[in-house]
Amino acid sequence: MAKRKTKFACQHCGYESAKWMGKCPGCGSWNSMVEEMEETKSSRRGAFSGATASKVQKPQSITAIESTTEPRIFTPSAELNRVLGGGIVRGSLVLIGGDPGIGKSTLLLQTSAQLAMKQNKVLYISGEESTKQTKLRADRLGVKAEELYVHAETNLELILEAISSMQPDFVVIDSIQTIYHADVTSAPGSVSQVRECTAELMRVAKTNGIAIFIVGHVTKEGAIAGPRLLEHMVDTVLYFEGERHHTYRILRAVKNRFGSTNEMGIFEMKESGLEEVLNPSEIFLEERSQGAAGSVVVASMEGTRPVLVELQALISPTSFGNPRRMATGVDHNRVSLIMAVLEKRVGMLLQNQDAYLKVAGGVKLDEPAIDLAVAVSIASSFRDAASSATDVIVGEVGLTGEVRRVSRIEQRVQEAVKLGFQRIIIPEKNLGGWKVPDGIDVIGVSTVAEALQYTLGG
């Protein structure tokens, strides 16, 4: 009788070892090595029989390949279409991750119903709920579509049989960590299972032209559970962000082979499910207090969409040896850099002050165009002088205190005009080359000190 071999695999990066180790040499994580059974040659042959049986193609010159435009399938949700790059591409494999209870299953069940209402055959495979539990959630969301089929299964071979017999247009796998391949001896959710199951689903999607959505669990650090290879294998990676205690959810693309990764979709969680937010700027500014020191409005670009959000800063004397620097929604290191510029170039004594910054609404801003707004909000709180409630501030700040140009300035100004703002502070280099719309005063500044002169009077 042959001896069964075992190995130890890291659940974070997939590193394999013949013996257990407390720290993974591949990624440096602790206590991530899990014992798994070694795969036999017969199991590997069975797992890849479909790929080896396919017809071998010869290499072609790129100039000889016919260029075709793949038509996209538009969903009734404009926010989802924007994040996907303009709609769903047939044969694509899309991975959606997010915290537990954030609304991943709700979003996919609603999207499945919307696609089924347009005479598309959709197969929703649930590995975490029974068909009756899925039906209860569908009744709560008001889902009634004849072409939406629900199947509760975790065995990959049975799932592939169901796909082969039904030939659906779309497939939803909820979730990939619950699916297992019978030929792989490790437990569901392990590195080997997630890798093999995703590879089989990718082969089915590409060979049959079926768009497949898979849900991925996340770790406590916020990354998608399983090997990093999972994100490399799929075509699109979407993250569903937001706090469960707030009603707004943000769908953001971090990888997209068919579109931009800078797009963002905003939804609101209600009793009847997720509803798209068509004008997020109004949502983020509706609770803004008027005349409060440290509060400014910045025009940020999320892909091709301008969004006006409120930046809040609180500067207070420290009671510790080292002052605290806390930031929510903006980069902590960038805040420290801007405070150093204010202290060196403007003369503000901030080395003995605690600084707390927050972006209202739970949005994360990571573009350089918010630098000037961060500087003005810190100076406003430090001087206890409020800026005008009708001002919008845009600009990148350099280490010498200069204000540098930003991209898409015309779209930012148009969004400010639409929401009724009367003045916008922009970099001086962005003046000219475009028409200033009526109803707003555009002021160009070249330094941070000049911007503070206009907004705070000194």
DSSP per position, 301-340 = EETTEEEEEEEEEEEEE-SSSS--EEEESS-HHHHHHHHH
DSSP state at residue 428: G
Other C-beta atoms closer than 10 Å to the C-beta of 68 total 6
**Alpha-carbon gap, residue 303 to 340, rounded angstroms:** 29
Comparing CA positions, the residue from 288, 286, 381, 375 lying closest to residue 330 is 375
Q: Is 235 among the annotated ligand-binding positions?
A: no
Q: Is 183 among the annotated ligand-binding positions?
A: no
At 270, is the secondary structure helix, strand, or coil? strand
C-alpha dist (Å) from residue 249 to 111, 209, 276, 355, 363: 15, 30, 9, 27, 10
Q: Is 102 among the annotated ligand-binding positions?
A: yes
Q: Is 104 among the annotated ligand-binding positions?
A: yes
Which residues are CB-neighbours of 10 under 8 A, at least 6 positions away? Answer: 16, 24, 26, 27, 29, 32, 33, 34, 191
Distance from CA of residue 346 to its chain's centroid?
36
Q: Tell me which H or E stretch contains 170.
A: strand 170-174
Comparing CA positions, the residue from 376, 377, 380, 383 lying closest to residue 357 is 377
Q: Is 105 among the annotated ligand-binding positions?
A: yes
Q: Is 98 among the annotated ligand-binding positions?
A: yes
Other C-beta atoms closer than 10 Å to the C-beta of 244 total 12
Torsions phi, psi for 414 (to 5 deg): -60, -40
Q: Is 291 among the annotated ligand-binding positions?
A: no
| Residues in binding site for ATP | 98-105
| Residues in binding site | 98-105
